[in-house]
Amino acid sequence: MLDNLRNERFTPAPQKRRRSGVLWWLVRWSASLVAVFLIGSVVMVVVYKVVPVPVTWTMLLDPKGFDKDWTPLSDISRNMVDAAIAGEDGKFCSHKGFDREAIEQAFERNQQGGRIRGGSTISQQTAKNVFLWQGGGYLRKGLEAWFTVLIENVWGKRRIMEVYLNVAETGIGTYGAEAGAQRYYNKSAAQLTAVEAARIAAALPSPRKRSVTNARGFTRRHGNAIAAGVGTVRGDFDDCIYQ
């Protein structure tokens, strides 16, 4: 009788066993999902190291449609490369994907209120544009950081710049330096002058709100500053691309 009492006392209840089984299944399912994501993301990054990015979520979700024309970096004016660095990420060649100082400065400005500003590098913007969606949120920022680390280590700076200048939005429904050059100046990206490239770069942070050909106010001043800085960038800050 005592043995029977002990067995009844220590035998797990069916409900507890079911809960334990469900919890274990959830753990295994979550681990499998994470593994699939990690492997899949690495595969995509490796593929896009040599294959042109066909389309992005931003393009697909653009209500205006999209116009793009993949162009090798060798067919894009160096003026455009230097303007992008001067306007968007002056430390492009020296950082490993993240500009800590820029992030800290952006955080301090955002604490003061007003328009939210980011401290994203060209590498981070490329990771977001190619693999993720627009908008904020901790999930997207976390995924952006993961893909940034991947492309920095798998692609290298030259490929990052090449992809960036092919997927960045350069106007309403317009993506990439080539499509932007054709839209605004009726010429190829290879023929962009320093001033033309600077105007496109000045509009990059907000291409749907900033005019390239009829720039005024901040956009015009910013474009002029970028054009003036192109000469400084060349040789000093773009050596990781042209070496």
| Domain-located, residue 194 | yes
Residues 23 and 65 in one domain: no
Residue 120 and residue 220 share a domain: yes
Quote the tokens at residue 59: 């393009």
Answer yes or no: is 165 within a domain.
yes
DSSP state of 186: S
pLDDT of residue 95: 92
Same structural domain, 36 and 64? no
* 83 and 22 co-located in one domain: no
User: For every one of its 243 residues, what pLDDT tens digit does the chain have, with 9 covering 90 and above?
Assistant: 545 545 555 555 566 666 676 677 777 888 888 899 999 999 999 999 999 999 999 999 998 899 999 999 999 999 999 999 999 998 999 999 998 887 777 666 655 554 445 578 999 999 999 999 888 788 999 999 999 999 999 999 999 999 999 999 998 899 999 999 999 999 999 999 999 999 999 888 777 777 787 767 777 788 878 888 777 777 667 888 987
Max CA distance (Å), the chain: 96
Give backbone dihedrals phi and psi of 142, rounded to 5 degrees, phi first.
-65, -45
The CATH number of residue 146's host domain is 1.10.3810.10
Q: Give the C-alpha separation, 156 to 165, whole Å.
A: 15
26 located within any domain: yes
Q: Domain check: are 12 and 79 in the same one?
A: no
Q: Domain for residue 124, yes or no?
A: yes
Residue 71 confidence (pLDDT)? 97
Does residue 34 sit in the same domain as residue 130?
no
Per the structure, the count of domains in the chain is 2
On whether both 98 and 141 belong to a single domain, the answer is yes
Do 35 and 88 have their domain in common?
Answer: no
> Does 227 map to a domain?
yes
18 and 2 both lie in a single domain = yes
- Predicted TM-score (pTM) of the model is 0.84
pLDDT of residue 134: 86
Residue 122: predicted pLDDT? 96
- Together in a domain, 131 and 218: yes
Half-sphere exposure of 219 toward its Cβ, with a 13 Å CA cutoff?
19
Could you tell me the residue range of the domain that residue 6 belongs to? 1-47
Cα distances (angstroms) measured from residue 180 to each of 60, 71, 190, 195, 228: 18, 12, 12, 14, 21
pLDDT of residue 116: 47
Looking at the domain assignment, is residue 241 inside a domain?
no
The two three-digit tokens of residue 120, written as one number = 């994203």
Same domain, 100 and 140: yes
In a domain, 239, yes or no: no
Residue 242 lies in a domain: no
Residue-level pLDDT at 213: 74
Q: How far is CA 32 from CA 35, 53, 143, in A?
A: 5, 27, 17
Q: Quote the pLDDT of residue 4.
A: 54
Phi, psi of 174 (to 5 degrees): -120, 130
Strands in 94-212 per DSSP E: 169-171, 174-175
* Interacting residues of 131 by C-beta distance below 8 A, sequence separation 6+: 41, 44, 143, 147
> In this structure, what DSSP letter does residue 52 have?
P
**Of 73, 69, 54, 217, nearest in space to 157 by CA:** 73
How many alpha carbons fall within 13 Å on the CB side of residue 111? Answer: 6
Nearest to 229 by CA among 45, 123, 89, 135: 89
For residues 118 and 14, state if they share a domain.
Answer: no
